[in-house]
Structure 1
Amino acid sequence: MSAVSNGVSLAEPRDFLALLKPRVMSLVVLTAITGLMLSPGHIHPTLAAISILAIAIGAGASGALNMWYDADIDGVMSRTAKRPVPAGRVAPETALAFGLGLALLGVCLLGLAANWFAAALLAFTIFFYAVVYTMGLKRWTPQNIVIGGAAGAFPPMIGWAAVTGSVSIESVVLFLIIFLWTPPHFWALALFKLKDYDNAGVPMLPNVAGERSTRIQIFAYSLLLVPVGVAPWLMGFAGPVYGIASVLLGANFLRHAYATLRMSDGDPKMIAAKKLFGFSILYLFSLFAILLGEAVATQLVLAFGG
């Protein structure tokens, strides 16, 4: 189906919303707000809100540029075939222009509302995701998710930089939580979507190294992730609620990762991998939601508790 019929565009507002990858954007917004709230210093609430909006726009730009470039492989994968560009509802050049326009808007808005260091970090993140990962790593190496995962890990660091104009060890820890979470999260998905990636010619780890090697690496990254997930409490910039939750959530993450490790090759149901994938989303959202909740509570106590 063409994106234009009888001179009339088939695109609806929801198609442009889909180009932004709203589910990914929700994670970006949560982690960016968390970084902003945990950072030392002060930013006016209005400027803080504009900064978060700018980061969200930047995330949307990355999604649109990714969908523009990946339309060919999205069209042959069941998970992505109905996206606006491969489905023919949005023309590729429209998605490209939309993404570039949003990228410019997001970077400039963040620079004007916060500072140009944070804006430069946002610009680098968009470039890394759209060019380094999407155009380069994704189709060339089975380690695409490991290296490319850095793009999704930058938002809390950008939120931190929006207030401080710099980065710190605390923001690096927040970065590392997402960075180390990304491989087990996406490789679990790749295990039960292996045929999709085969059809698209994308060299995901299970397709190249095999299922057993993938399961071993999932477990190895999980072993690295869990202590880093507890680190904010150990380092003193998260409270006891986070400490307890991060330990319990981490133990459950390892339980799912171990169950995935013990799966047999060619398991038709992939139940353990599916459970790990689902729980990994809950794990990351929970960690950052609790961090954010503690930060907000601390601010309220300082403001009204005397």
Structure 2
Amino acid sequence: MKTVLQTTNSSFSIASAISDFKEITKIRLALSVVFSSIAGYLLGVDVVDFKTLILLAFGGYFMVGASNAFNQIIEKDLDALMDRTKNRPIPAGRMSVTTAFIIASVFTILGVIILYIINPQTAMFGAISIFLYTSVYTPLKTKTPLAVFVGAIPGAIPFMLGWVAATDDFGIEPGTLFMIQFFWQFPHFWAIGWFLFEDYKKGGFFMLPTGKQDKGTAVQIIMYTVWTLIVSLIPVFGFTGKLHLSPVSAIIVLGLGLGMLYYAIQLFKKMTEEAAKKLMLVSVSYITLLQIVYVLDKFIR
């Protein structure tokens, strides 16, 4: 009986440790970032090199995991104040700061090395992403709503990073991919900031552009949704070098964008947390489907 109990406890401890590891590195978010990077790679490459693709996936995961771990170390006391984050490994006491720091440091080193193997530019942009997220964006979150603007920079790098990994070059093409994901982040994160407003307030975070759930914030969400849609359609006009989009795919992207705009307008009309949550979910679908459409358009055309 004792042996069975010890085995059960051991299994529970291993499962708990794995769960905490996933949480400290935010594996779901990391996988979405890896997806963006791979989409950017497929758009930029002439012949797919699966070794580079695998390196990019692992390097991207390590870089995002490192950023998230550092973020949770810095915000451990504030995380303990919010319902959304109080059960994270560090504030809940299941993981020490030292352990989290070791994970973050090892992930940073592995991420930079792996991306450097692809090419130095990819490693440089990956390192810039970690630095901006942990050293600028994270401290600014409790100071000013402008933190979202700063955070949108590392958040927009993955889509672009894939192209740089494929070509070892930064030009109009990866710049356009960067701008698409940059503008997209404002309606996405402001929608999150809206429906989590009260919880964020407990931690002292300033996420909404006006600092309130008001018409001013809703109008800015609509504006940045429109900008996202416009930038997403630019490749159809032939101004973006090797990055092309066919008229048919442009119509699909337009439809996706109008769908997102509809929910942004619904938030303006209803001013509810439920409307904000719907916009957030639609925004995730938008950026994912857009990247799929872009990639399919290249290989089917």
Answer yes or no: same fold by TM over 0.5. yes
Aligned to 1:55: 60
Taking a change above 3 Å as real, the CA distance of residues 91 and 176 of structure 1, as seen in their structure-2 partners, is same
Deviations 1:195-236 (A, max 9, x none): 111111112226725522211111111121111122233336
Aligned length: 285
The normalised TM-score by structure 2 is: 0.88
Say whether residues 1:78 and 2:83 are aligned partners. yes
Distance verdict in 2 for CA 1:246–1:81, change over 3 Å: same
Deviation at 1:292, TM superposition (A): 2.5
Alignment-mate amino acid for residue 38 of structure 2? I
Aligned equivalents of 1:178, 1:33: Cα separation in 2: 14
Q: In 2, are the aligned partners of 1:74 and 1:86 still within 8 Å (CA)?
A: yes
Residues 149-298 of structure 1 mapped to structure 2, 5 A cutoff? 149-205=152-208, 208-235=211-238, 237-264=244-271, 269-297=272-300
* Pair 1:9–1:86, CA change in 2 (3 A): farther
What's the counterpart of residue 15 of structure 1?
A: 20
The Cα shift of 1:272 comes to 1.8
State the match for 1:132 in structure 2.
136
What is the distance in 2 between the residues matched to 1:163 and 1:118? 9
CA distance in structure 1 between the aligned counterparts of 2:52 and 2:207, rounded to whole angstroms: 40
Q: 1:17/1:296 Cα in 2 relative to 1: closer, same or farther (>3 Å)?
A: farther
On the 8 A contact 2:253/2:293 being kept in 1, the answer is no
How far apart, in 1, do the equivalents of 2:69 and 2:257 lie?
33
Q: What does 1:102-141 align with in structure 2 at a 5 Å threshold? A: 102-112=107-117, 114-134=118-138, 136-141=139-144
**Residues of 1 paired with 2:77 and 2:298: CA distance?**
43
Please tell me whether the aligned partners of residues 222 and 257 of structure 1 are also in contact (alpha carbons under 8 angstroms): yes
Equivalent-residue separation in structure 2 for 1:183 and 1:54 (angstroms): 26
Residue 32 of structure 2 aligns to a residue whose secondary structure is helix
1:294 maps to a residue whose letter is D
Gaps of 5+ in 1: 1-7, 299-306
State the distance in 1 between where 2:185 and 2:85 align: 19
- Return the letter of the residue paired with 2:106: G
- Partners in 1 of 2:155 and 2:133 — Cα distance? 8
Q: 1:250 to 1:183 in 2, by over 3 A?
A: same
Q: Select between 138-147 and 229-238 the one with higher mean Cα deviation.
A: 229-238
SS at match of 1:77: coil
Provide closer, same or farther for how the CA distance between residues 207 and 11 of structure 1 changes in structure 2, counting only shifts above 3 A: farther
RMSD (CA atoms): 2.1
Read off the aligned partner of 1:121 and give its amino acid letter. F
Q: Work out the CA distance in 1 between the residues paired with 2:233 and 2:84.
A: 33
How far the C-alpha of 1:122 sits from its partner, in A, is: 0.7
Specify the SS of the correspondent of 2:199: helix
* CA displacement 1:98-145 (0-9 Å, x = unmatched): 111101111111112x111111111111111111111x3212111211
| TM-score normalised by L of structure 1 | 0.86
